[in-house]
Amino acid sequence: MPQEPDFIHDLNKQQQRAVRHGEGPLLIVAGAGSGKTRVLTYRIAYLIQQQKATPNEILALTFTNKAATEMKERIGELIGDQARRLWMGTFHSVFSKILRYEAEKIGFNSDYSIYDTDDSKNAIKQILRENSYDPKEIKPRILQRRISDAKNELIHPGQYNEKFVHSTLDEITATIYDIYVQRLKHNNAMDFDDLLIKPIELFNKYDEVLAKYQDRFKYILIDEYQDTNHAQYTVTNMLAEKYKNLCVVGDDAQSIYSFRGADIRNILDFKNDYEDAVKIPLEQNYRSTKAILKAADSIIKKNDSQLDKTLWTDNDTGDMITVLDNYDERDEANRVADYIQKLKRRKGYDFGDFAILYRTNYQSRVFEETFRRKGITYQLVGGLSFYQRKEIKDVLAYLTLLINPHDDTNLRRIINEPSRGIGNKSMQGLMLRARETGQSLWEILKNVEEADIYTPAENSVKDFVAMINELKRDLANGKKLIDVTKKLLEKSGYMKSLVEENSPKSMTRRENILELENAISYFEKDNANATLSAFLQEISLITDTDKYDEDKPAVTMMTVHAAKGLEFPAVFVVGLEEELFPVGSRDNEEVNIEEERRLFYVAITRAQQDLFFSHCRSRYKYGEEQRKKRSRFLDEVSSDVVRTETGASIKQNDNAFSSSKNSNQNNNSGNHVEYDRQKPQYNKNNKSSGGTKIHYDNPDGDPFQVGAQVEHNVFGPGKIISRSGQGEKTKVVVFFKDRGRKTLMLRAAKLEVVG
């Protein structure tokens, strides 16, 4: 047995236990910031260094390409070039690779297309039309979601029709599901779900194939095991059945993807599935301050379904968490922007050190507008992906046809893009003939003279077929991918049409296509034997998180779901209101409040040094202003570590704060003032309809502090958001509900505090 490597001493005792674990199943319960990636990479390196397995006998599965790349690089630093031989990647990429080798056994060829969600929805939309359903009434995205859920639960079309039809929509789903599965096979295409369920079909059908991969993978390691769905659980258990060297790493407290089919029971019941499994908790957090960890722990302990663990850290206590109480979303965005600029000055942060986390993507709009106005650079994660843009999807559809011309969905997309005189009437005739003869649309196009269509359209079809065949020959003869792509763009007229349009939008599209050419060039440079099939597979599996650029000097805006696995020095969790975060209402039994609480826990544990919670009293929805209640989660977090902007403690009772001049809540001396946090009501003349007004010359002291609610005889109601200067030179910045932000000299402003 080789001597233990020096790198083992970089780990704490629990991490060393996990890395050194020998044969048999292993459950590593890795709390947030506890170094799970390090443990996973070191364990793989240790297995190889100790000669327990060769690199190609280890299968490591992740949920993002970014995670897989980072892990492989780290392993390479520990053991050298051997890391390149590892089977490591996302579930979809690894099983797509296996299917490329074995596809013919289940009726596909190795150059099958991979449909993303939009491709699937387009295929379903076409099937709906063919079966006399209106896609405006029966939404393709709803059927796509239902079909995806069924696939991930391993429910086949026949089973769905027999056991799950209880309504008209169920009947339509069953019909479309059956046709959709047949259509994918006809098109030599698989969707994302197929990349997980087709291996199960393959292994069930061919024992010798299953045995081959069971023998190959002596050790299987799975990252983020709490995010696995039923299909992922099934296929990995099949592969691990022989050696049972299955190591899973995860945190039940971060299980937040049930809407994608993730099943928290997979990690909670791991010890039931493998009775002899060793469980090792990783509880030392290296990321966050003690205050942030206490907040996270106080939240997650409210959940019933969880594995026992308590995070701890040797880090400093850190600053208290600040709660921002805002009028509305505009006020919220302005306040967050001001805090970012203040923290940059005070702590030396860069814009890239900040993250804005929200529950839903639409919340980004007001922050984007505010940041642009204030000159704050930002990056938006989870918006429209580069590879989802129309022009990029068009070019990729052309490229797909060069290796899989039987893909009717992509063929229909670009046969008349740009316009080449093949209109809807001609296309309907061609597709009808394809359905009647059972042939692919490509086969019909190759023999278009046998179809009864308009002569100019027939000639255009012949030209189109000749172009595709010429480009296919170029590929077969070894021409470089970038050269084939440039020739395609020229001969198809696609680039020319954008140049001739000569609009700002068309120029942007042209620039995007040039960037796609760059991506193809880089791919060829980085891969000695680059193929078009490999390139299309790689980009088809890119996720939102893969697009995050941690080196970009910009504030990151993303949903909490997209932020899992990331960390930032300063984090703002915004929109903490009932019906937004958590979603739904207090009385809605459909809301999985434990998962929403786990989502809040994930948001908290992204922060390293500074953490802010933010909520609004009102928010616009459907064009109307609606009153909001602050999130119940703000009443659940430990009051020991949360303060208002003035440093006052928070009373967790009936959505009211308690303010005290002394922020130490154990000190009962001094005046204790409770104040109503409900938004003041004003009449049409902008005069207060209730409350006590305090004038600037109030003898009891200066009430015009940050956070005070004020009224101005012209600007109406507002809130002091910053203050500077002293004496007669004192200035305040007030955010007025109807007039926006104003800077006023306090002595001349004629402000009144509404108490």
Per-residue three-class SS string for 502-525: CCHHHHHHHHHHHHHHHHHHHHHH
* Percentage of residues of the chain with pLDDT beyond 70: 90
CB 306 within 8 A of CB 300: yes
Q: Is 752 helix (H, G, I), strand (E, B) or coil?
A: strand
Is the pLDDT at 664 greater than 70? The verdict is no
Q: Give the pLDDT of residue 755.
A: 54
CA-closest candidate to residue 251, choices 64, 70, 72, 35: 35
Task: Give Rg (Cα) of the chain.
Answer: 30
- Tens-place pLDDT, residues 599-616: 999 999 999 999 999 999
pLDDT by residue (tens digit) across 49-69? 999 999 999 999 998 888 888
Q: What is the DSSP pairing of strand 751-754 with strand 709-712? A: antiparallel
Confidence of residue 588 (pLDDT cuts 50, 70, 90): very low
DSSP of 298-348, one letter per residue?
Answer: HHHTT-SS------B-SS---PPEEEEEESSHHHHHHHHHHHHHHHHHHH-
pLDDT digits (tens, 9 = 90+) for 165-207: 989 999 999 999 999 999 999 999 999 999 999 999 999 999 9
pLDDT in tens, 288-317: 999 999 999 999 999 988 888 889 999 999
At residue 544 the predicted structure's pLDDT band, cuts being 50, 70 and 90, is low
Q: Give the annotated binding-site residues.
A: 30-37
Confidence of residue 88 (pLDDT cuts 50, 70, 90): very high
Higher-confidence residue of 750 and 205: namely 205
Please tell me which residue in 116, 119, 191, 224 is annotated as part of the active site.
224
Q: Which of 20, 37, 82, 693 is catalytic?
A: 37
End-to-end CA distance of the chain: 75
Long-range contacts of range 679-686, CB-CB < 8 Å, 24 or more positions apart? 679/327, 679/617, 679/618, 679/627, 680/709, 680/711, 680/717, 680/754, 682/711, 682/716, 682/717, 686/711, 686/713, 686/716, 686/717
Q: Does residue 744 surpass a pLDDT of 70?
A: yes
Q: What is the pLDDT of residue 723?
A: 84
Binding residues for ATP: 30-37
Catalytic residue among 41, 49, 126, 254: 254
Per the prediction, the chain carries an average pLDDT of 86
Eight-state DSSP code of residue 454: -
Active site residue 224: yes
Task: Judge whether 728 counts as a catalytic residue.
Answer: no
pLDDT of residue 383: 62
Which listed residue (16, 36, 596, 719) is catalytic? 36
- Return d(Cα 143, Cα 739) in angstroms, integer: 46
Side-chain-facing half-sphere of 328: CA atoms under 13 Å? 18
pLDDT at position 742 over 90: no
Which carries the bigger pLDDT value, residue 80 or residue 305?
80
Which residue's structure tokens are 């939009």? 118
Strands 709-712 and 716-724: antiparallel
Residue 363: CB atoms within 10 Å: 21
In this predicted structure, the answer to whether residue 741 has a pLDDT above a threshold of 50 is: yes
Model pLDDT, residue 690 = 36
Which of 667, 613, 584, 577 minimizes the C-alpha distance to 295? 613
Task: Determine which of 40-49, 406-415, 545-554, 596-605 has the lowest per-residue pLDDT on average.
Answer: 545-554
Query: Residues 413-469: pLDDT tens digits?
Result: 999 999 998 888 888 889 888 888 889 999 999 988 888 788 888 899 999 999 999
pLDDT band, very low/low/confident/very high, at 160 (cuts 50, 70, 90): very high
Percentage of the residues of the chain whose pLDDT score is greater than 90: 62
Q: pLDDT: is 294 or 712 the higher one?
A: 294
Can you give the pLDDT at residue 522?
A: 83
Is position 275 annotated as part of the catalytic site?
no
Among 116, 193, 223, 328, the active-site one is 223
* Catalytic residue flag (residue 36): yes
This prediction's pTM: 0.76
310 tagged catalytic: no
Catalytically annotated residue among 151, 510, 606, 723: 606
pLDDT at 585: 47
Is the pLDDT at 228 greater than 60, yes or no?
yes
